[in-house]
Amino acid sequence: MSTFGFSSTADDVLAGVDLTGRLAVVTGASTGLGEETTRALAAHGAEVVMAVRDLDRGEAAADRIRAAVDHPIELHVRELDLASLDSVRAFADGFLTENDRLDLLINNAGLMAAPYGTTKDGFELQFGTNHLGHFLLGTLLAPALVASAPSRLVSLTSRGHAVSDVDLEDYGFERTDYDAWVAYGRSKTANALFAVAFDRRYVGDGVHAYSVHPGGIHTELARHLTDETLGALRRRLEASGRQFQWKTIPQGAATTVWAATAPELDSKGGHYLEDCGVAEITDEPVLDTGVRAYAQDPQRAEALWELSARLVAV
């Protein structure tokens, strides 16, 4: 379906694509994949709102992007802390006050294998930040996506989803011992299921949603890794029986911008994407290719949506 693949970059995907007049929001835009996604979209004409936790770092990233693009671009840096539902609501209120439409929502920000902690609202940190914060953001900005249809929501997931399905009864590890990788896996499965449920709700309004595995990339996402969690990761990779290949940041952003712009996806939604293509569903617990069936299950997605809506009170 796609002429792009593992080694393609964001610029490869967007070659010849004109995004003039399109408005995008990118979370976690101050570094890594978020910064590269912002640069690629802006370089091809999109106006981009950079949603960042630290405004100073966001402005520094915006300056780097402007310096890297050889023509004027339109960037706006706005504060967003996904670990605070009040912050998410404030960001959405501010955005909707200034804009009545949104073409692309890129839910890129996240934590990986963080030590146990809680968000400002008391939720387990990875589930609360990676999933609930983005769930609330997507539901609040949905009217703007509908107003701008055809439009798209892109939810970054990970191969880490293969570590664990969501646990709808013990999402906060109140009944079981905390495991950083299991918590990460649950949150990444939740990101994939969110795309499934969001697409089912809004496809009739001209909005598609996708989840994206960007690949293994060295970014600040790994800032919480300890010797213990790194050792656990190595053991999981070895157990997969396959050789792991790293991507560069420009390669990692390729599937994100492909999900956001590819005409091949106009009639498809809810899918888990990798290497600029739709992943195959597999029941094998591998860490290098494919998507586990539970991360594409519509009934599971609906159950998670109902739980999430109750937890964030929407």
Give DSSP secondary structure letters for 173-205. Answer: -SSS---HHHHHHHHHHHHHHHHHHHHHHHGGG
Q: Cβ atoms within 10 A of the Cβ of 163, count?
A: 23
* Pick from 65, 57, 155: nearest CA to 104: 155
Rounded distance between C-alpha atoms, residue 100 and residue 111, angstroms = 30
10 Å Cβ neighbour count for 96? 15
At which residue do the structure tokens 């070895």 appear? 238
Would you put residue 240 in left (φ > 0), alpha (ψ -120 to 50) or beta? Answer: alpha
CB 127: neighbour CB atoms within 10 A? 25
H/E segment holding residue 128:
none
Q: Are 91 and 79 in contact (CB under 8 A)?
A: yes
CA 224 to chain CA centroid, nearest Å = 18
- Beta-carbon count within 10 A of 86 CB: 10
Please list the residues that pair with 23 across neighbouring strands.
47
* DSSP letter (8 states) at residue 33: H
Strands (E), the chain: 23-27, 47-52, 75-79, 104-107, 151-156, 207-213, 216-217, 246-247, 272-274, 277-278, 281-282, 291-292
Q: For this structure, is 178 an active site residue?
A: no
The catalytically annotated residue of 116, 178, 184, 294 is: 184
CA distance 283 to 272: 14
Catalytic residue positions, numbered: 184
